[in-house]
Chain A
Amino acid sequence: MNRENNVYTILYASIMVIIVAVALAFTHQSLSEQQTKNVNIDKMQQILRSLHINASTNEAESKYNELIKNSYLVTPQGEKVEGSEGTKTSDPAFATDIAVDASKGLPVFEAEIEGRTIYILPMSGKGLWGPIWGYIAIESDGSTVYGADFSHQGETPGLGAEIATPQFGGQFDGKHLFRDNTFTSIAVVKPGQSVSDRDYVDGISGGTITSKGVNAMLLESVGQYKNFLMNLNAAKK
């Protein structure tokens, strides 16, 4: 058959595309359960890391179920959304991705550590090359940070990617999100510099844009929870 024939070319292209589509769809279908499980476990590991717990892939799920006592959605006004409670991966709090859609409410995870209740909030923002996100664990006074963990999709290894290290996340421990009852967030500044109007941590040298991204993420993502955190603080007093 003439290989330069138009009909042959079109048929060849169509059949090839169909075969490839079927092959890819089949692979995706057969692997997607395992992939979703990986994604969920990864999310649990991140939440646990914000509590200073490094859980391996195998123990993440049991550890998560042991520590996370409750999770639910809250409105921007700081009130719990009716019927959103539940700690299963299919429940609204775990299934909601604030980077995609937070219209139903903002997720809050409650953990119990040494008899204290710790509130874990998800964060989502932009780095240099792509999305960055993280979890921040806050004491029941609504202001003191218990721990924080950051992740990224494709920040430069050795530079922006350093936000995912415990050295960076660990700096947030004990910092305060509120000063004089106003939400100030925590600033990420160039190493060696300082700010006086709020708590701050050192950014990454050579990772300026990513550091600024973390700064903006804290301000915006945690800022959405401002009312919820103030309610916590008021309940404490």
Chain B
Amino acid sequence: MALSNKTKAVLLGPLNKNNPIIVQVLGICSALAVTSKLEPALVMAIAVTIVTAFSNVIISMLRNTIPNRIRIIVQLVVVATLVTLVSEVLKAFAYDVNKQLSVFVGLIVTNCILMGRLEAFALGNGPWPSFLDGIGNGLGYGWILVVIGFVRELLGSGTLLGYPIIPKSFYEAGYQNNGLMMLAPMALLLIGVIIWIHRSQNKELQETA
């Protein structure tokens, strides 16, 4: 299926110049919380993508019927329902993954990216562009999570997805895992570094002092 330039921008924009984490700086909280290991970061990225895409579609379909005064409540109910469904399905069919993510699946409800996309996009666009926007933003959020999860698990635990990567001989030679990597502040610093690199490549994003 050929995508017009506009839909392409909707889908791919959030991966780079309109990224929810590094440009809009939304959803930082969960980006700090679930990235100390790669696997929860991956599953979280997938779960957020699914929930963003489908809540976007639902709100977009309802957009001409929602009473303006209670629209935030309506959005919240839709998001909360979807998150509960995801969590129920995980509990029934992927119990181990659900156990690992524990409270963070429930916390998708509070992810600012979701509400941000619903308010900024789904309320003013049709279901199909909204779906793409949801996928785009979910992936834009997801790839940052995966990058941070990768760096933190590799340097903090010396493993990736639970498999040891750093050879034993390194440890015998005095190498130590960086405990700071396991702590949330380090994730914030890493996001800062990514933002720094990203802005140095995209001059138009730099704020003039």
B83-99 contact mask (Cβ, 8 Å, vs A): 1 or 0: 01100110111010001
Report yes or no: B92 in contact with A38, Cβ–Cβ below 8 A: yes
**Chain A min CB distance to B116 (Å):** 21
With a CB–CB cut-off of 8 A, which chain B residues contact A31? 88-89, 91-92
C-alpha spacing A4/B92, complex, angstroms: 41
Which one of A15-23, A65-73, A96-104 is at the B interface? Answer: A15-23
Report yes or no: A9 in contact with B102, Cβ–Cβ below 8 A: no
- 17 A-B residue contacts at CB 8 Å? A3-B67, A4-B67, A12-B66, A12-B74, A13-B70, A24-B84, A27-B84, A31-B89, A34-B92, A35-B95, A42-B95, A156-B36, A157-B34, A158-B153, A158-B156, A159-B36, A206-B179
Given the interface pairs A12-B67, A23-B81, A154-B102, the reply to whether A159 lies near B182 with Cβ below 8 Å is yes
A28 at the B interface (CB under 8 A) = yes
Report yes or no: A156 in contact with B68, Cβ–Cβ below 8 A: no
Given the interface pairs A3-B67, A158-B157, the reply to whether A35 lies near B92 with Cβ below 8 Å is yes
- Which of A5, A35, A129, A159 contacts B91 (CB under 8 A)? A35
B23 at the A interface (CB under 8 A) = no
Q: B179's closest neighbor in chain A, by CB?
A: A206
**Chain B min CB distance to A11 (Å):** 9
A110-150 contact mask (Cβ, 8 Å, vs B): 1 or 0: 00000000000000000001100000000000000000000
C-alpha spacing A129/B73, complex, angstroms: 28
Instruction: Describe B's contact surface by its main secondary structure.
Output: helix
With a CB–CB cut-off of 8 A, which chain B residues contact A77? none
With a CB–CB cut-off of 8 A, which chain B residues contact A194? none
Q: Could you list which residues of chain A lie within 8 angstroms of chain B, going by C-beta atoms?
A: 3-5, 8-9, 12-13, 16-17, 20, 23-24, 27-28, 31, 34-35, 38-39, 41-42, 57, 129-130, 153-154, 156-159, 205-206
Report yes or no: B182 in contact with A9, Cβ–Cβ below 8 A: no
B37 at the A interface (CB under 8 A) = yes
Report yes or no: B88 in contact with A28, Cβ–Cβ below 8 A: yes
**Chain B min CB distance to A58 (Å):** 13
**Chain B min CB distance to A47 (Å):** 16
With a CB–CB cut-off of 8 A, which chain B residues contact A153? 102-103
B65 at the A interface (CB under 8 A) = yes
B142 at the A interface (CB under 8 A) = no
Report yes or no: B93 in contact with A206, Cβ–Cβ below 8 A: no
C-alpha spacing A154/B104, complex, angstroms: 9
C-alpha spacing A232/B77, complex, angstroms: 55
Sample of 13 more A-B contacts, CB < 8 Å, known A4-B67, A27-B84: A3-B66, A3-B68, A5-B67, A9-B67, A12-B74, A13-B70, A16-B77, A20-B77, A28-B88, A31-B91, A34-B92, A35-B88, A154-B102
Q: A21's closest neighbor in chain B, by CB?
A: B81
**Chain B min CB distance to A170 (Å):** 17
Report yes or no: B67 in contact with A8, Cβ–Cβ below 8 A: yes
